[in-house]
Amino acid sequence: MIEIAERRRGAVGAIGVLVLSVAGLFGLNYAAVSSSRGQRLDEAAMNSVSAGVPTLQQLQSYLGAITIGTTALALLCCVILALLRGRFAVAVGAVTLVAGANVTTQLLKHSLFDRPDFGLTTINSYPSGHTTVAVSSVLAAVLVAPPFLRHVVIVAGAFAATLVGASTIVGGWHRPSDVLGALAVSLAWGAVVAVAVGITHQPQTDGLVRSSLLAFGGAATAGLFLIAVGVRPANGIAGFADAALILGGVGAATALTIGIYARLVPLARRGGSKIRF
């Protein structure tokens, strides 16, 4: 009875995350894409950071590595890991998370959402496809990770996802809202999978604060890496605060997304019917 009650509380938490993620996704589209002021602020935010040609080429090479093949390979590794641990439902959940998030992003970008003409481009880029691939893959890895790998996955995943999201902004591929929208899509699908697979369970040994701090460490390391390779404020010292706010905000949002999901899903033991955090 106690375990059933704990699972119900976990399911309620996952549903709450789902509702907030969907609300954030549509609310951000309304604020940043569907209004003239929002578009201008979003464009200015993207243009607050810059980099020289060698740095841009380096960052674009990272983004270019995100292909259908590499995504499929990463997902295959997640599936194999889950199956080796006797977790068929979790393996299906990882596939559902990545496929669902990426299909949703493409449908939203090309079919549902549009970008009104307010003097800027009318080509819609919300949400970011590259960021969705990176973040959904990281969440899938968090989902299947065994206890001894969970913290490594959180830190490394936050680093990779932040690097991808920030690189799309620095390279002028996406605006900050596009990246945040991708986080919302990925987290929403992560919550759906958590409920559908029936793996939500409390209490957890890794609380939200702990998992988020680990993710923030990975995101902060990505920020330092970007600085090291030559990412700078577009307006020099005068634009430092704006650039720090944008990249720092993207990193913080990415870390919080991963931290929330790590708090939401359990650490699955090999075989057996019980799931432990």
Three-state secondary structure string covering 65-106: CCCHHHHHHHHHHHHHHHHHCCCHHHHHHHHHHHHHHHHHHH
Provide the domain limits for residue 35: 2-264
Q: Determine the Cα–Cα distance for residues 157 and 258; give it in Å rounded to an integer.
A: 8
Residue 271 within a domain: no
Does 217 fall in a domain? yes
Say how many domains are in the chain. 1
128: closest CA among 82, 167, 160, 158?
167
Tokens representing 206? 């890794």
- pTM for the model: 0.92
Q: Which residue has the tokens 């464009």?
A: 43
CA atoms within 13 A on the CB side of 251: 25
pLDDT digits (tens, 9 = 90+) for 114-150: 999 998 888 999 999 999 999 999 999 999 999 889 9
- Residues of the chain where predicted confidence (pLDDT) is lower than 50: 2, 201-205, 268-277
Residue 34 maps to a domain: yes
Does residue 80 sit within a domain? yes
Q: Would 208 be classed as within a structural domain?
A: yes
Three-state DSSP state, 232:
strand
Structure tokens at 141: 């890895």
Two structure tokens written together for 16: 């709450």
| Reduced DSSP (H G I as helix, E B as strand, rest coil) percent helix, strand, coil of the chain, to 5 | 75, 0, 20
Tell how far CA 66 is from the center of its chain.
Answer: 14
The answer to whether residue 150 sits within a structural domain is: yes
The answer to whether the CB of 48 falls within 8 A of the CB of 233 is yes
What pLDDT is recorded for position 4? 55
